[in-house]
């Protein structure tokens, strides 16, 4: 049995004014509607005074090596470094990682998990004990013609509040095609890869639990113009093997009375090889009308993998799940987006 939901939001901000959802009860029995976003996680400034051992995993630590703490970094000098990072507030585990960056690219060396009570202005001393080696794993990808791409891998372990960087893929920089796996730490290594064409009209994205292994990115194919057919307030999606379609529209709807533009978002679960959706005319109930004689800009998306994951809802901005190893384990999300315009007579 199928059902549809329509919502009018008045919260402003980066949230669609009109939100439409269509699915079958076999596909989804829950809909999260968000009309405003909270303040997000409060971050505080924490300074790490780091002392490094002379060797980690048989690799001698050198001046110029880079200590990275959750997005912040500092170079090593005389086996010491000071890093000031922005962390989520509260008690947590944080990863202090060491990399070498040079002619050989990005070389993961080692790291250490430390317990932190993150308050603004706090100072953490990281001593020479308990450092573990990182083993390097490769990242590779084959891009469609005309596309450029880059990616990175983050690490998460229960007890952490954040997922810090452990490696990257930059195809134009030799040696930037690897990430580090911390010996004995467990946890989840989550790869994030994005590719775009030169006009930024097509975008491909993947989120993947790499399992701590070499990662060959499996990208979806780009949209073609024939796979999306807009006509006024009706739309046909025919991207093959999609699980769901998203659509963001600007210029189609306006508020009754004021004429103020209303942003529209749509989530429709796929129904076979071709899925057609028409926006319902609920103007009298929700206070909107569709424009005529106008140009509409759109972003259409196909979800190829992972539509049942809570992270899919987070990607759409309709939920903010708490990170956990269980949530991220075996995650595999893949999206293809296309941007364009069409005219409404």
Closest CA to 316 of 237, 250, 244: 244
Name the H helices within the chain: 283-286, 310-316, 325-328
Say how many C-beta atoms besides its own lie within 10 A of residue 307's C-beta. Answer: 18
Closest residue by Cα to residue 73 from 93, 100, 102, 54: 100
Task: Indicate the SS3 state at residue 17.
Answer: coil
Question: In sequence order, which residues have a C-beta less than 8 Å from that of residue 77 and are 6 or more positions away?
Answer: 63
The pair phi, psi for residue 109, each rounded to 5°, is: -110, -55
Measuring CA to CA, which residue among 40, 1, 52, 4 is closest to residue 24? 1
CA atoms within 13 A on the CB side of 211: 7
Least confident of 5-9, 100-104, 307-311: 307-311
If pLDDT is split at 50, 70 and 90, which confidence band does 35 have? confident
Mean pLDDT of the chain: 93
pLDDT above 70 coverage of the chain, percent: 92
pLDDT band of 210, cuts 50, 70, 90: very high
Query: How far apart are the C-alpha atoms of 157 and 141, rounded to whole Å?
Result: 26
The whole-number pLDDT of residue 3 equals: 83
- Is the distance from CB of 313 to CB of 284 less than 8 angstroms? no
Closest residue by Cα to residue 245 from 225, 272, 210: 272
State residue 136's pLDDT score. 97
Q: Is the pLDDT of residue 31 over 80?
A: no
pLDDT, tens digit (0-9, with 9 covering 90-100), for 153-162: 999 999 999 9
Whole-model pTM? 0.92
Q: Which pLDDT score, from 0 to 100, does residue 313 have?
A: 72
């Amino acid at each position: 049995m199928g059902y549809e939901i329509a919502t009018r939001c008045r919260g402003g901000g980066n949230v669609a004014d009109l939100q439409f959802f269509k699915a079958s009860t076999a596909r989804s029995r829950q809909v999260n509607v968000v009309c405003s976003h909270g303040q997000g996680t409060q971050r505080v400034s924490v300074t790490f005074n780091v002392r490094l051992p002379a060797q980690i995993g048989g690799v001698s630590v050198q001046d110029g090596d880079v200590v990275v703490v959750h997005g912040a970094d500092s170079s090593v000098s005389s086996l010491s470094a000071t890093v000031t990072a922005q962390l989520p507030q509260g008690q947590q585990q944080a990863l202090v990682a060491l990399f070498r960056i040079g002619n050989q690219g990005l070389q993961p060396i080692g790291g250490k998990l430390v317990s932190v009570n993150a308050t603004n202005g706090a100072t953490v001393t990281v001593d020479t004990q308990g450092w573990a080696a990182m083993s390097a794993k490769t990242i590779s990808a084959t891009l469609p013609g005309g596309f450029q791409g880059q990616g990175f891998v983050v690490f998460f372990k229960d007890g952490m509040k954040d997922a810090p960087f452990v490696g990257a893929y930059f195809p134009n920089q030799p040696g930037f095609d690897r990430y580090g796996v911390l010996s004995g730490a467990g946890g989840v290594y989550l790869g994030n890869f994005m590719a775009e064409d030169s006009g930024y009209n097509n975008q491909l994205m993947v989120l993947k639990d790499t399992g701590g292994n070499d990662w060959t990115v499996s990208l979806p194919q780009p949209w073609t113009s024939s796979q999306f057919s807009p006509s006024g307030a009706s739309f046909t999606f025919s991207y093959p093997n999609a699980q769901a379609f998203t659509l963001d529209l600007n210029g189609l709807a306006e508020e009754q009375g004021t004429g103020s533009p209303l942003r529209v978002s749509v989530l429709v679960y796929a129904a076979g090889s071709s899925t057609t959706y028409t926006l319902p005319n609920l103007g009298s109930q929700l206070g909107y009308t569709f424009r005529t004689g106008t140009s509409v800009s759109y972003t259409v998306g196909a979800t190829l993998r992972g539509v049942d994951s809570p992270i899919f809802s987070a990607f759409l901005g309709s939920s903010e799940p708490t990170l956990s190893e269980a949530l991220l384990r075996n995650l595999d999300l893949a999206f293809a987006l296309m941007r364009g315009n069409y005219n409404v007579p």
